[in-house]
Amino acid sequence: MPQASEPKLISGNANRPLAEAIARRMSMHRGQSVGLLDARVERFNDMEIFVEVYENVRGEDMFIIQPTSNPANDNLMELLIMADALKRSSAARTTAVIPYFGYARQDRRTKARTPISAKLVANLISQSGIERVLTMDLHAAQIQGFFDVPVDNLYASPVFALDIMHQFKGRLDKVTVVSPDVGGVARARELAQRIGCALAIVDKRREKAGEVAEMTVIGDVKGQTCLIVDDMCDTAGTLCKAADVLIENGAKEVHAYTTHGVMSGPAVGRITNSQLKSVVITDTIQPTKPVRDAANIRIVPTAPIFAQAILNIWNGTSVSSLFSHETLSAIYEGMY
C-alpha cells in the first residue's frame, strides 16, 4: 500500500555520484523530482564526523545511501551518525542503502583468536536506529542473519546477464562462465544458468591473504571465451592469475565480471597489463580516475536497480522481483 509521505534520500560522502544517479532514476520513475536531502556531513579539525540535516524529516521514510568502502571506518561512522541524526529527528523509518558492505570478508572465525567483524558491524548498524538494510552481493549470504533487522540483498548477476547477452550476442555457445575459486561456484553457476552457458572452476590454493600459490582449471575451456565471475576485485591478483591459467589451458579470450571494484594498490596496473580483455565492474564503490581511465575496465550502473528497489520498499511491494533479468530488461531499457 503506497505511503502518505514521500521517500527521502540522504547521502554521505562515500559515493555521492551514485546517490545522485539513484535520485535521478527515482524522479524519472515517479514523474516528479526526487532530490537528496539538504544536509552536511563534514569533519571537525580533529577528523570527528559532524552531521546536520537542514530539512524536516519528522514522520518521513528515509533512505541513507552510503557504501562502507575505503576508507571503511570513516564511511561506516558517517552511516551510523546519519542514522542517529535521523532517529533523533523523529524520522518514521530509516533504511540503510549500503551498495558495498565493508568487513564482509570477516564473516567467520578462520583461526583462533580472530574476530567476526561482519557481525560486529551488523550489531552497530542494528543499534543505530536503522530499521532495514538494502545491499548488493554480500560476500557471504549468511551475513543477512547477522542483522536483527530485515536485509534485502540484491544481485548483480541479472544486470551482468543483460550485459553478457548484449556483448556476446550470437556467440554464447562459445562462452564459459568461470568461478575463480570453489567458494564462488554457486554465484558462477547461477549466472551460467541465466545465460545458458557452460561452467568451469579455477581451484586456487592460497598460502596467505593477498597471495595465490597455485591454480588449476576444473573443466574444459579450450577454444572458449571465458567469463570470470566474482563478487569483488581487490588487488586483482586472483583475477589476473586466473586469466593466465585459463589462457594456458586453451581459452580463446578471458573477460571478468565483478560486482565491487575495490581496486586497491596495484589492481589497475595489473589489469591493464594482464591477459584480461575486459573487466566489468559496477559503481557500488565510487571508481577512482585511474579506474575510469583504464582501457580494459568497464563500469555498469547500479542506480536503476537500486532506485527501483527503494521504490518497492517504500511502496511495500516485492524486492525479489528484481532478481530476474527479464524484469530488469525494462528497467535497463535503452542501455542494452
Active site residues: 204
End-to-end CA distance of the chain: 32
Residue 31 in marked binding region: no
Q: Any binding-site annotation on 234? A: yes
302 close to 258: Cβ distance less than 8 angstroms: no
Residue 141: how many other CB atoms lie within 10 Å? 12
Pairing label, strands 61-65, 49-53: unpaired
**Cβ-contact 243, 254 below 8 angstroms:** yes
Q: Is 238 annotated as a binding residue?
A: yes
Residue 181 annotated as binding site: yes
Check the annotation: does 47 bind a ligand: yes
Asked whether residue 173 is marked as a ligand-binding residue, the answer is no
Q: Please report the sign of the dihedral spanned by the C-alpha atoms of residue 305, residue 8, residue 135, residue 105.
A: positive
Buried b (16+ CB within 10 A) or exposed e, 257-283: bbbbbbbeeebbebbbebebebbbbbb
Three-class SS state of 255: strand
292 is in an annotated binding site: no
Is residue 236 part of an annotated ligand binding site?
Answer: yes
179, 196, 197, 251, 320 from 165: Cα distances, Å: 19, 10, 11, 19, 22
- Residue 109 is labelled as binding a ligand: no
Joined grid coordinates for residue 146: 547477522
The answer to whether residues 298 and 283 touch, using CB atoms and an 8 Å cutoff, is: no
Contact 266, 241 (CB under 8 A): no
Residue 206 annotated as lining a ligand binding site: yes
Contacts of residue 2, defined as CB under 8 A and 6 or more positions apart, other chains included, come to: 315, 316
235 is in an annotated binding site: yes
**Annotated binding-site residue? 145:** no
User: How far out from the chain centre does Cα 332 lie?
Assistant: 17
Binding site listing: 46-48, 105-106, 139, 181, 206, 230, 234-238
Binding site listing for D-ribose 5-phosphate: 206, 230, 234-238
Binding site listing for ATP: 46-48, 105-106
Binding site listing for Mg(2+): 139, 181
